[in-house]
Amino acid sequence: MKISIKPYHAKNILRKKLCVQDTNEEVTGKLIINVFSDGRPEPLSNAIVKVSRVTVSGYYSDTGEGTLLHQLFTDKDGKTPVVELPILNELIPTNKDFYFITVYHPGHYNAYILYTEIYHNITTNLNVTLKPLDTDDENFHFIIQPRRSQIMK
């Protein structure tokens, strides 16, 4: 899919219109995840990061099926390798799919990140902080990325 902007006239003003052309080349963006410990803000090495794509279906968008795309491990600095993914964001109104990321580390509660957006030729950096198991706050942590349609109301 190739996205291009073409001008058009409206009330004697030149405006740009978003045009989507279907091509054989896949448009991609990149993702890096940094994992830290909450108590002392230090990087967590060997954290397991799973990146999945959830495909939403059903008449009311009430069904979803996840596909695991990547399983990554963080390095000594708490960073995952750079992953290239097909773009998926709210700027593509016909697509209801989203990325779902899970982060695990022994001795810490899990984190779940929903609606991660990937943009063309942009590297998305996510900083994830995991709480140690010795805290009694929660069993796991959800991070829900705000949807553009919710912010713009």
Give the pLDDT score at 15.
47
- Does residue 1 sit within a domain? no
**Measuring CA to CA, which residue among 63, 48, 65, 39 is closest to residue 110?**
48
Report how many domains make up the chain.
Answer: 1
Nearest residue to 89 via CA among 112, 119, 123, 52: 119
Q: What is the pLDDT of residue 84?
A: 96
| pLDDT value, residue 134 | 80
- The strand pairing partners of 84, in sequence order, are 30
- Given a contact cutoff of 8 angstroms between Cβ atoms, the answer to whether 52 and 69 are in contact is yes
Residue 11 domain-assigned (yes or no): no
Q: Please state, as a whole number, how many other Cβ atoms lie within 10 Å of the Cβ of residue 13.
A: 7
Asked if residue 20 is part of any domain, the answer here is no
User: Is the residue at 87 inside a domain?
Assistant: yes
pLDDT tens sequence across 93-118: 667 888 999 999 998 889 999 888 89
| pLDDT in the model for residue 148 | 54
Q: Residue 139: which domain range?
A: 26-151
Residue 46 inside a domain? The answer is yes
Is the pTM above the cut of 0.85?
Answer: no
In-domain check, residue 63? yes
Q: Would you say residue 35 lies in a domain?
A: yes
Q: What is the CATH number of the domain that holds 70?
A: 2.60.40.10
pLDDT at 146 over 70: no
Assess contact for 32 and 103: CB atoms under 8 A. no
